[in-house]
Chains A and B, each alone.
Chain A
């Protein structure tokens, strides 16, 4: 199967919005307001933290907020120099959205956390662990969520059986990104 035809290609997955389990987007936004726009989205790998951050960005921008999004990961570290430059260029009305806050160095985090109190409109981060900022939401997944996502993505006529998805979910300990990547590989074989 060609990559462009794979039902589990990244662009198809990215088109799906975050699905809150026991809350709603308006409730998340209301809580963010209560927390004075300084909050953390926490959760394990593949639980939708980045997706939620990107979706929040869209919602916030549609409300008139200006945002600055930083992605940090093992391949894309944030150096001290980059951090300082970023903070120098920051405008007071901008909301900083940081994906991967627990992956940046301690002194960078301290600087970012401290500086954004006075020089930014807020700071929303994703992290695997709680404690960096007050928790906005703890992202969790369920086997039913995986089934829902697959239901939406999979082609008609060749459905993936629910019990197979449940075993995939278990195998990846609830990491939906890993489950969807496996399904991509599986469909690659099936052209």
Chain B
């Protein structure tokens, strides 16, 4: 069975701007790929259109079917990892083999505070676009067990 893995040094997943991410990639594939590509990038998740920014990439040509290799990336100043209600920005390291669809991704956090920055009040309430008159409890809120 094809297997790819990314092991981060000391299992560390939270980094400050400009810090170095170190780790090891390991692969065990039925067929030797032409190359393995490792990328450090961020992407957005949430309600709107997705965005992506690649910070660094490394390519390992003719890696053979089984092996491991150390890697290191220096993180940029930003953008910081953050989450709001509408959008999250997530940093990740992804290993893909080519040709093939085998991929593995490890999420990391880039933040000067040591944790993902959370925007606003995640528990604040908005009116539902299809809500009722707003005077009483909305049955839809009850349906989904939404806390008030």
State the A residues within 8 Å of B (CB).
1-4, 6, 9-11, 14, 158, 160-161, 164, 168, 171, 181-182, 184-191
Chain B 121-148 against A: per-residue CB contact (8 Å), 1 yes, 0 no? 0110110111000000000110111110
Secondary structure class of chain A's binding surface, majority of residues = helix
A6-B50 contact, Cβ under 8 Å, with A1-B122, A168-B130, A190-B146:
no
Q: Which residues of B contact A3 (CB under 8 A)?
A: 45-47, 83-88
Do residues B144 and A2 form an inter-chain contact, with CB atoms below 8 A? no
Q: How far is the CA of A123 from the CA of B130 in the complex (A)?
A: 40
Secondary structure class of chain B's binding surface, majority of residues = loop
A to B CB contacts below 8 Å, 29 in the list: A2-B88, A2-B118, A2-B122, A3-B85, A3-B87, A4-B88, A6-B46, A9-B45, A9-B46, A9-B47, A10-B45, A10-B48, A10-B49, A11-B45, A158-B144, A160-B143, A160-B144, A161-B143, A164-B140, A171-B130, A182-B129, A182-B130, A185-B47, A185-B126, A185-B129, A188-B85, A189-B141, A189-B146, A190-B147
Q: Which residues of B contact A171 (CB under 8 A)?
A: 130
Does B93 make an interface contact (CB < 8 A)? no
Q: How far is the CA of A185 from the CA of B128 in the complex (A)?
A: 7
Do residues A184 and B146 form an inter-chain contact, with CB atoms below 8 A? no
B residues 65-103 touching A (CB-CB < 8 Å): 83-88, 90
A188-B126 contact, Cβ under 8 Å, with A1-B85, A10-B50:
yes
Q: Which residues of B contact A9 (CB under 8 A)?
A: 45-47
